[in-house]
Structure 1
Amino acid sequence: MTAQVEPNGPKLAVIPSNPVPEGVRLGYFTTSDRVRLRYAIWPKSAGPHRGTVCLVQGRTEYIEKYFETISDFRARGFAVATFDWRGQGGSDRLVGNGTTGYVDRFEDYWTDLRCFHAEILLPDCPPPFYLVGHSMGGLASLVAATRDRMMFDRMFLSAPMVSLHGMEDSLPLMGGLAEALSFIGLGPVPFKRRGDRRPHEGGFLDNPLTSDLLRYTRMVETIRADDGLYIGSPSFRWLAAATRAMGEAGKEEFSARLQIPLLVLAAARDTIVSTPAIEQLGLRLRNGRHVVIAGAKHEIFMESDAVRGQAFAAFDAFITDQTR
């Protein structure tokens, strides 16, 4: 079933196993290049005031997927603000096939985040601001940190997409091919991959996202409640944009521009993004470090209680305890 939070406004898909945290304010905002994005903000639910966590998602994700994690941040005294990137979740789709991941340039995600910061975070949320980003959102967050050091006080990243698993050496070739195909008009065409199948109950055993059956099933049920949230294969244009951004993130001069206090988590069992590339980034950081979470698959916040416990212990040491 779905719950409409504002008359004629955006909706949230709500299922019994994934209730919406109380106190949500849901709406749309429009970016500087006129793309409409869905957003949600929550006040803190307990503890002393600690500021606001700005939560940015990975490719294919959506606000509803993070209800549990949002509740965890709120219980620590943080307000939470989040939004759906362009082309996914409840935000505007950019190509006719709404299930294909698409973006013209990776810089467009910087536009999304910059506009969200200016239009929602600054006027409506209590400072200080802490950015939490996952996967593709982690890479977009790193790009943002090189553009504007003062947007956020600290940055906490989960399995950022700085390279793809097993493709560290072949990314330039893949990106070049995707650029060529985009140039001849095939940019919106999906790059079909086996791993981009619609999530279903029978796919748990070999899924690359989480080892937790209940949280995996919750993802399946949420998509079933609102099929419009589903995103499948990336387009060739998205692939070209993303590989170029990953190539930039792998350069030493990129790391040198990261001046914000930064903690990066990597998943030891990740088969989506490259854990070795995350470790290399972590070793080059001048104002940050990295931690590899044992036993974790790619989606650390959707993992088992034991894995999530490690992630939140790292978050508390790096952010929560610094606000006291």
Structure 2
Amino acid sequence: MIFSPCLPESNQAREQQLTAFCQLHERCYVMTGVAGRRIHYVEYEQPGRPLLIISPGRLEAAFKHREQAMDFWHQGYHVVAIDHRGQGLSQRFFDHPQLGHMDDFDNAAIDLLTLTKRCNPTGLPVFVLAHSMGASIVLRALQIQPDCFAAAAMTAPMLSLNLPLPSSILKFWLGWKSWRDLSQWRQHKRTPRYATTSRQHYVASPFIDNPLTHSQLRYQWFRELYERQHNLQLGGPTHGWIEQAIVMMQRIQENSDRIETPLLIATAGNDTVVTHSGTERLRRTLSERGMAVNWYQSTFSKHEMLQENDDIRTPLIAAILEHFSRYSDR
């Protein structure tokens, strides 16, 4: 499928055109998620068209995916992007809003399913585009409710992390640390600590040697967005976030036989944020089941494949659109 981006890097009026699109089509809403948590989402409405849900990664606010929303809106999709619980403009877990925490990733998956049902009352085909942590949340949603999406596409899924010890060992230590932190919060309102000293408050790291993208233009736009809206910023993870991430990744592998939705899984050859071992394990398991998965590899891409330069990003979106088109009658 031929795809031309709405805002190629050579477009000198990118900022103005994106602002104009958002002023016309972007609407913000709030819903109640699991356990009464306030969940923020952004909608780019196009009545009567298939629904596309965008599930961002860790640190990512829905607003960061405005360019993707614009591209898919112009391809005929009604687009909705969620702020996962604990990040973006959704309700944070503690008084210190930059702490990256998660109570249970299954709650985030159920939030996503609730949003999908809320935004699709007419029963049109629903597709989902997910990145990194958001891809793992989608995989759990596909296991909890296998018929929720007609097709799913995900980039650089978070299925394994670069951890200092085996996850089976770390999970117990992190579980104890998380339990202690939460007990201190409930009893004394003592805010949990960051899990590491190297990743704490949000820092707008320079473009040089960044692990996310080769596109300086898209990288600077994202950093400037977060500088303008400080309430989008998120710092490093808590012990509880890492523990729950390990639990989620194990659940995905252990319940892979429940995945029935047609998948496109894109991996980045230059990825240093997530490791490939979990993705390879899932690939083997799904292959043994005989499930046909569209595996897409971009050899030179860094982690944020949808924020990459045009040479990497454009053919990836073309492949995603082609994947979705095969299941548009579902």
Pick aligned residue for 1:194 from 191, 198, 201: 198
Report the counterpart of residue 122 of structure 1 in structure 2: 120
Report the counterpart of residue 320 of structure 2 in structure 1: 315
Equivalent residue runs for 1:170-319 within 5 Å: 170-185=166-181, 188-192=192-196, 194=198, 198-200=202-204, 203-251=206-254, 254-285=255-286, 286-319=291-324
Report the counterpart of residue 59 of structure 1 in structure 2: 58
Instruction: After superposition, give the CA deviation of every residue in 1:112-136 in whole Å (9 maximum; x if it has no partner).
Output: 11221232x223x772100111111
Instruction: After superposition, give the CA deviation of every residue in 1:206-253 in whole Å (9 maximum; x if it has no partner).
Output: 2111111011101110111011110011111111111111122234xx
SS of match in other structure, 1:228: helix
Which amino acid letter does the alignment assign opposite residue 170 of structure 1?
A: P
Which amino acid letter does the alignment assign opposite residue 35 of structure 1?
A: R
SS of match in other structure, 1:156: strand
How many pairs align?
Answer: 301
Q: Structure 1: give runs of 5+ residues left out of the alignment.
A: 1-14
**In structure 2, distance between residues paired with 1:136 and 1:268:** 18
**In structure 1, distance between residues paired with 2:294 and 2:221:** 32
Report the counterpart of residue 4 of structure 1 in structure 2: none
Q: Structure 2: give runs of 5+ residues left out of the alignment.
A: 1-14, 184-191
**In structure 1, distance between residues paired with 2:285 and 2:163:** 20
Which amino acid letter does the alignment assign opposite residue 53 of structure 2?
A: C
Question: Does the aligned pair in 1 maintain the 2:146–2:261 contact within 8 Å?
Answer: yes
Pick aligned residue for 1:29 from 21, 28, 31: 31
Which amino acid letter does the alignment assign opposite residue 53 of structure 1?
A: L
Question: Does the aligned pair in 2 maintain the 1:168–1:274 contact within 8 Å?
Answer: no
Instruction: After superposition, give the CA deviation of every residue in 1:33-55 in whole Å (9 maximum; x if it has no partner).
Output: 2111111111349xxx6511111
**In structure 2, distance between residues paired with 1:113 and 1:198:** 25
Percentage of matched positions with identical amino acids: 26
Report the counterpart of residue 155 of structure 1 in structure 2: 152
TM-fit CA distance, 1:193: 5.4
RMSD: 2.3
Question: Does the aligned pair in 2 maintain the 1:302–1:308 contact within 8 Å?
Answer: yes
**In structure 1, distance between residues paired with 2:79 and 2:136:** 20
Question: Does the aligned pair in 1 maintain the 2:218–2:307 contact within 8 Å?
Answer: yes
Q: TM-score, normalised by structure 1?
A: 0.85
